[in-house]
Amino acid sequence: MKIKLIINGCENPEDYKLLKTTISTVASLRKTAVLRFNSERLVIISTPKSASNSSSTILHGDSGQLWCTIPQDVFKQYTVLSVRDSNAITMEYNCDTLLSVFKRYDKIMNQGSFSDMTIKLQAMPEWNSNIATSNGSASTGAKPNPIVALGITFGEILHTAGEEDGVGQSEGRIADGFGSCKTITHSFKVPVKLMFKAQDARIQEPMVNYTQLMMYRLPPYSGEFGAGFSSFIKRVERYTNVNHIRLSATKKRDALDSESHQLKIRVNDLDWQLEICWNGPLDAVIQQNAPSQSSENSKVPEPLNNNRASEEEEDDSMRIDESTIMDAKNATSNSLAEEDVQLADVSAIVEQAEKDNAQAHEVMIKCKDWKVCHKLYSAFEEVVLAISHNESCVLHCSLDRGILDESEDIDKPKERGQIIYYMARSKPI
């Protein structure tokens, strides 16, 4: 197998931002994650550890999963070769180790260096012999996962006041008459654990229930309402003792058949309650109308029965009965009582109609998951929030990368990079 990737953060800052944001977001969730390479794209996956096998990141449940897609044209060079289908290569890595390398690359870019970052897969036989001896896998018969390295290299330009001293891998040149410059090559080896085909097959993307789903396209972060919505998401972070929040999306329909949407965050963890509302614009993407047959059946017979009763009383009042004389006071009191009953029925019907016209989709999620949503919202311009009632919540972030430069289909847009964060309910409503 072979992997060779080249990316330049200065030449393509948007593409590099997608890769860096993905790596930093994954690092904020867990210590380890999965890199899945194939011929078309790189997928970075953060899933919970399996209870049965703690030595690798195997999918277990569907809580707090991050699935990130990096198209292959994000890189200047993308070479992935393997004997598996679609040249698939899957490995587990330490998030903080890889993130520290990217932070170093960011630092030298800010200092004016414009070098490429090259990533290669390197065999490390000495690492595997040491691990096999320490774990004693030869005695148990279990085959350990091979340990290899992602070799990452990039250059840094150092400005010096004196003459060249020829140290290391530097290359001297004169810089504007103020001295000379050195180009130093930085080299890092990030340990990764190759995953077997059976382990890779267990990692499956979660499924979302579409029967009761509400989806909203959130206001762009750089738009008119971006700052306000960012404050709405971040408001909960000031309460450090909050563990769970109740996310509620409500759709209401008025008498003119126009819709209005509202997003709420409710907290009822402690001895006090908190409700944060977003009354700004929300662009509904998909709307699911729940059936209202039971409510219709419950409210229709009551007014019909009241009308029939009033008709029968009117018929009785037209009869002439010699043995009965109606008292005027009793008649007046009975008619007022009937009007009160009818008014009560009408108010109940109106109240029930308002409930039927208001659809709420709610889910309980962990507060730490909502903090990740705020980080993603501030990094992407197009964000969609989906709430599956009492089941899960999904945040879908995508980045528009422009139009292909060199292609027959010159107007065809590039494949979008995307980050999908799946959050299972922390507890039922």
Tokens of 165: 């001293």
Is 210-313+332-429 in the same CATH topology as 2-136+143-206? yes
C-alpha angle with apex 315: 313 to 321, nearest 5 degrees? 95
Least-confidence region, from 106-115, 146-155, 209-218, 399-408: 399-408
Query: Tens digits of per-residue pLDDT, 213-266?
Result: 999 999 999 999 999 999 999 999 888 888 899 999 998 877 667 788 899 999
| Amino acid letter, 316 | D
d(CA 193, CA 93): 7
Question: Phi and psi dihedrals of 347, rounded to 5?
Answer: -65, -35
Residue range 210-313+332-429, CATH number:
3.70.10
What is the tens place of the pLDDT at every residue in 385-408?
A: 999 999 999 999 998 776 666 555
Q: Show me where the domains of the chain are located.
A: 2-136+143-206, 210-313+332-429
Residues 6+ apart with CB under 8 A from 124: 147, 148, 149, 189, 191
Asked if residue 119 lies in contact with residue 151, where contact means CB atoms within 8 angstroms, the answer is yes
**What do you get for the CA distance between the two ends of the chain, in Å?**
48
What pTM, to 2 d.p., does this model score? 0.74
Range among 141-145, 154-158, 314-318, 358-362 rated most confident: 154-158
CATH of domain 2-136+143-206: 3.70.10.10
